[in-house]
Amino acid sequence: MRADHSAPLRLDSQGWLGSPAVRRPSPNFDARPPGAAVDLVVVHAISLPPEEFGGSGVECLFTNSLNADEHPYYAEIAGLRVSAHFFIRRDGELIQFVSTEDRAWHAGVSCWRGRERCNDFSVGIELEGCDTVPFEPAQYERLCELIAAIRARYPSVRDVVGHSDIAPGRKTDPGPCFDWTQLRRVV
């Protein structure tokens, strides 16, 4: 599926995208703290199994339906309770797991601009990818559209950063193959 540019992406008042996004609700979220303003977008990269693309592993992980017997790596992570607001596949397909009004569990132990617990004030976007393979043009297109929609809904967003920026030493994603120059040129 290529990015559909027929209409701009738009978040509704409940924090959900309509078409072309696919909705796959995750149980791994909770309410943001009272008064928490969304002012950060965190870009991640994930592939399950590691460095393999196109399967259902990420969706299964974020919906607590990962079968530990399907792959040796899955046995190590099957008990994790994590999510992100969005997942962008290699072909630009966009899946939403959590409303942007809620706190997805994507950042873990994190800090940005002196504030800890980045999940409280951020939107998490996972790209299907890894540290060793460049991302696809369709992913950058969709990511730019998505960030524009997030900024339209939350004008307080001032930073777009990588997971590695908010959890240095603990996380490396989106990794050295992510083209920040290309993203910043558009965003």
DSSP category for residue 84: -
- Contact criterion met (CB below 8 Å) for 97 and 119: no
pLDDT in tens, 177-187: 999 998 987 77
pTM exceeds 0.85: yes
Catalytic residue among 101, 126, 128, 145: 126
Q: Which ranges of 50-100 does DSSP label H, i.e. alpha helix?
A: 57-62, 72-77
pLDDT in tens, 27-39: 999 999 999 999 9
Name the phi and psi angles at 180, rounded to 5: -65, -35
Q: What is the dihedral of CA 156, 160, 166, 170, to 10 degrees?
A: 150
What confidence tier does 6 reach under pLDDT thresholds 50, 70, 90?
A: low
The CATH architecture that domain 22-28+37-186 belongs to is 3-Layer(aba) Sandwich (3.40)
Residue 169: the pLDDT is 95
pLDDT in tens, 56-84: 999 999 999 999 999 999 999 999 999 99
126 is catalytic: yes
Name the phi and psi angles at 30, rounded to 5: -155, -175
Compute the average pLDDT of residues 125-145: 97
Bond prior to 34 in cis (omega within 30° of 0): no
Using DSSP, state whether 155 is helix, strand or coil: coil
Q: Please say if the pLDDT value at position 3 is more than 50.
A: no
Residue 5: the pLDDT is 54
Question: Which structure tokens are listed for 41?
Answer: 């977008």
